[in-house]
Amino acid sequence: MRLRLLIAYDGSGYAGWQRVATGVGVQERIEEALEKIAGRRVAVEGASRTDRGVHATGMTASLDWAHPRLAAADLRRALNALLPSDIRVLEARRAPPGFHARFSAKRKLYRYRIQNAPVADPLRRGVCWHVPHALDLAAMRAAAEAFVGRHDFSAVATNPGYARASMVRTVRLCRVRRRGDEVLVEVEGDGFLYKMVRTMVGTLVEVGGGRREASSVAAMLAARDRRRAGKTAPAHGLCLARVGYR
């Protein structure tokens, strides 16, 4: 039967979700645990690649499961007993035939956390980017509006080392809000390019810090030149929060 997993992980010690030639991906750890349970290799498909050090609370994965004595409801417990403590399967349930975590996905929501305070909180150093200077949220929100819509996002993407069919993506939401001493940047779209969200965040922080005008973001996107955008925000502040399906 086809199964759908909901997975959370602390990405600090991983090279991303996907299997890679150097380092260990979260996918590899889950497939190793499944092999111990099933007695054979079980391939797992993830909804999205994530960069090295990026976290997830809402990664979706799909797989084919044919273990005769272990139902889907019991698989979650079995996996969590074998997985390292920084990876957890939150749900395991049946999915329709043909469901694919990546190709069936309609939207993905990423959330970036910035601790905007004079002194960094050592307990949040692994999940927040510390920005000590004051940020102008009104300016950041004005700049964020330019990212919404269907655009060529070459200006905020890094070359991943492989060919891409298109640099055009649709961003449905780019929201900036404050929660205590944190500034949250939430970006939802149909798909994302390599380091795209992190570069969007880096650009918005430059706007919030007064180093570029909010009105410059539209022209930056139109130029399709990575050198026109801000720096890439650190990976540890980013989290894949949710993947949406029809």
* 46: its two tokens: 């993830």
DSSP string, 127-169: T-EE--S---HHHHHHHHGGGSEEEE-GGG----SS--S--EE
Instruction: Give CA separation, 99 vs 4, 23, 79, 89, 242, in Å.
Output: 8, 29, 21, 18, 17
Among the listed residues 10, 51, 136, 190, the single catalytic one is 51
Number of other residues whose CB lies within 10 A of the CB of residue 106 = 10
Contact indicator for 77, 67 with CB cutoff of 8 Å = no
3-state SS class at 187 = strand
Distance CA 240, CA 78 (A): 24
* 30: its two tokens: 């889950």
Residue 86: active-site member: no
Query: What b-and-e string marks burial along 181-212, b requiring 16 or more CB atoms within 10 Å of the CB?
Result: ebbebbbbbebbbebbbbbbbbbbbbbbbeeb
- Catalytic positions, written as ranges: 51
